[in-house]
Structure 1
Amino acid sequence: MDFTYDDRTKALRTQLLSFMESEIYPVEHHFHDCAEANESQWERPAVMADLKRKARAQGLWNLFLPDDTHGAGLTNLQYAPLAEITGWSPEVAPEALNCNPPDTGNMELLSLFGTPDQQRDWLDPLLDGKIRSAYCMTEPNVSSSDPSNLETAIDDDGDHWIINGVKWWSTGAMSSDCQLLIVMGVSDPGADVRGRHSLVLIPRNTPGVTVERGLQIFGFLHSAHGGHAQVRFDNVRVPKANLLGERGRGQALAQARLGPGRIHHCMRMIGMAERALELMCKRANERTAFGKHIADQGIVQHWIAQSRVRIDQLRLYVLRAAWLIDTVGAREARTEISAIKVAAPDTVEWIVDKAIQVHGAGGMSQDHPLAMLWAQARTMRFIDGADEVHRMVVATKELRKHPMVTIGEGV
């Protein structure tokens, strides 16, 4: 394993760091002000279009996609330090570079499994940043961590599919720019659980599709990435050609989508932690309490030191997982992906919490980005699989190293 940045990564890092300083940080307040004013709460400020135009002109576009036909052709190891930089401004930077979820995962799905017609109709406009999309898997009435619980039905009706069900936490679907919903449902209820589900492409304006409400995260409207929607499908009819991939292969396709998506989240979370640590240090050096700088308090120094140790540990862990995906594939690296998916939210949530504490009551307010960073870190313990499921994956692999001994066989 060699995690030294190659020349292309170094050049892109330099370029992206400059873009963040000159373009992203100066306009962050526009996105906060829009949310506070509750004006078109699910829409993005006009400045986002300008950011996208500038990022694309500089070649900072679709960096996440390893397919050099459609994307930048970067490996996961090359993309990791770039995604980390965008994590310093998770509400703005990923979208400005067309590297934001859920569009990234949906573009990966379409690039891997889409037909030429599906790629023309949906992948190309997504790659161009002309439209947005949503991924509809989680359901409100069941524990969706177990896909066998999903109830949304995809029924065969001659030349069409008929879809009925309710999804929620469908990120992106609140935006008026969202034109595509990728929906997982039960197409073959009598099949083995691994062959029971399929994915269908549903245009958002299809009759029977109702976006019922937007969901808040710990009280935040969270307009970034198009909000989080509850969507009802009532006898929605789409052509058979809207099936993505093979019938009954929905779970396999979902895992192909979630593998890279999980590591991208972890990459960005390192940037979130770095920003929280920077803010914590600046605040500690600026403020005094009980006759000395907060930075001189032993407990604060402990928090700062532990933050640095935890960030560097997490970065190495994530880079190793990225290297494994590049060398042996996401399937063979699934245990490591699950491990970092547990480690990243746990680490970042702890660091942001300490940064809030150093900021005092102001850390909970909209005057600093820490409250939103904390909410995002806590949310990541559910996104793309709950902590408990990922821990189960890691534990299962460990237990297989030590086969169970049957009573009577001896120790």
Structure 2
Amino acid sequence: MTQGEPQCPPDIAELRQRVAEFVRERVMPQEPVLDGGGPEARAVLAQLRKEAKDAGLWALPHPAELGGQGLPLRSYAHIAEVEGASDHGPAALGSASLLDALMLWRHGSPPVRETYVPALIAGELRACYAMTEPDVPGTDPVRIATRAEPADGGAWRISGPKWFTTGAADADLVTVLARTDGSAPDREGLSLLLVPTASAGFRVVRDLPVLGAAGQAEIELDQVTVDADHLIGERGKALTVAGERLQLGRTLRCLRWLGQAQRAFDLMRARARSRGPLADLQLVQRHIFESLLALRTTRPLVHEAVARLDAGLDARVEVGLAKVAAARTLEQVADAAIQVHGAAGLGPDTPLPALFRTGRAARILDGPDELHITSVARRVLRTDPA
């Protein structure tokens, strides 16, 4: 168990150790290939998924009735950190599809649930979520330009651009936020529609590297038609479904960022200890201290958000605090580890550049720091103290 984390039950601790070893021994050595994308990366990922299934580590947080192993959030949280120590851990172990599978299962029509959810959990399909658009602030989704108009037979015809859509290049399905009624700034009238990426009129416009790393894309929907039963949730009520998804998604990402920050910390400590004089330098000791302080103070915030979500309570304040703290911690610890490594920390022989890049991007993607800071502060100012 990592310091600052709630007590981990013995059976979960053993499972956590197995996941940590799988990520460390099987996933991390393949990161250069996986980072590169393309056919070779897909082949490696398929092999890792087979190994995870053979090891009994596949789809740990997915509901058992849908083909997963049914770990509740508070139990899975102990595992998510070590699983997320590599960006590719969740995909290799089958938990990356959790948000999409839960959203479609809870809010999709029977045909959507039966057709897509089991295949997502089995790793046979890949899904992504398209919300952000060029020239529209990501913090103000009511102003999106993508529209869905009624078509024959109750179908929908969707047109508009999206960008910074994670995993779109390899996705089979994309959930699109579009306006079906009214106009900006109405909060009502936004709907979610599930689009198979093989649909006529759907295309990936270009990759959008984030600080040089692949994985994001700009997409375009040009009169893409989907059946009426591909509406996710109620017409005009997309923000309710999106809010549910965002709270869980941000919390899971916080756990994974903690795992990556811990990885950077371990590399920094090993580097200092392997270079005798380094460990004796007070400035290096300060890097170690400040990084440990960040980890130890952030971890309880993240697990507080987990506990409230698991209990079905309003966790908007806790998730906002955790998201800002975890993103800052990853950036801070990775930066310190690079400094201690010197030039070696900038090159391709360690994962530190990728960890730093993730930390820096985390402070903007999935809601910038400023959004969470103002949102939490306003909410606290409106409520009485506990």
Q: Structure 1 residue 266 and structure 2 residue 269: aligned?
A: no
2:377 — aligned with what? 395
Contact 1:30 / 1:45 at 8 angstroms: preserved in 2?
no
* Mapped partners of 2:184, 2:29: distance in 1: 54
Q: Structure 1 residue 89 and structure 2 residue 82: aligned?
A: no
Q: Secondary structure of the residue that 2:172 maps to in structure 1?
A: strand
Aligned positions of 1:2-81 closer than 5 A: 3-31=6-34, 35=36, 41=38, 44-65=41-62, 67-70=63-66, 71-81=68-78
Contact 1:3 / 1:77 at 8 angstroms: preserved in 2?
no
Q: Structure 1 residue 301 and structure 2 residue 298: aligned?
A: no
2:104 — aligned with what? 110
Give the partner amino acid of 2:31: E
* Mapped partners of 1:187, 1:231: distance in 2: 19
Pairing partner for 1:121 from 108, 115, 118? 115
Per-residue CA distance 1:334-357 (angstroms, 9 max, x = gap): 110111011111111011101111
Per-residue CA distance 1:275-332 (angstroms, 9 max, x = gap): 10111111112336xxxx1111101101101211211111111111111111233xx1
Give the partner amino acid of 1:146: D
* Mapped partners of 1:48, 1:55: distance in 2: 10
Contact 1:335 / 1:394 at 8 angstroms: preserved in 2?
yes
Q: Give the unaligned 5+ runs of structure 1.
A: 404-411
Aligned positions of 1:248-327 closer than 5 A: 248-287=236-275, 293-327=277-311
Give the partner amino acid of 1:168: W
1:211 — aligned with what? 204
Give the partner amino acid of 1:349: E
How many residue pairs get aligned? The number is 379
Structure with greater Cα Rg: 1
Contact 2:291 / 2:333 at 8 angstroms: preserved in 1?
yes
Pairing partner for 2:181 from 184, 188, 193? 188
Going by fraction, where is helix more abundant, 1 or 2?
A: 2
Give the partner amino acid of 1:69: E
Please state how far the C-alpha of 1:54 moved relative to its aligned partner: 1.5
* Mapped partners of 1:282, 1:247: distance in 2: 54
Contact 2:33 / 2:41 at 8 angstroms: preserved in 1?
no
1:230 — aligned with what? 218
TM-score (norm 2): 0.93
Give the partner amino acid of 2:142: S
Please state how far the C-alpha of 1:264 moved relative to its aligned partner: 0.4
Per-residue CA distance 1:91-145 (angstroms, 9 max, x = gap): x211110122xx3321121121122210222111111101211111100121121
Between 358-367 and 189-198, the greater mean CA deviation after superposition: 189-198
1:386 — aligned with what? 368
Please state how far the C-alpha of 1:184 moved relative to its aligned partner: 0.4
Distance 1:372 1:117, change over 3 A: same
Q: Give the unaligned 5+ runs of structure 2.
A: none
Please state how far the C-alpha of 1:238 moved relative to its aligned partner: 1.5
Q: Secondary structure of the residue that 1:217 maps to in structure 2?
A: coil
Query: What value does the CA root-mean-square deviation take over the aligned residues?
Result: 2.0
Pairing partner for 2:350 from 368, 384, 387? 368
Please state how far the C-alpha of 1:244 moved relative to its aligned partner: 1.1
1:409 — aligned with what? none
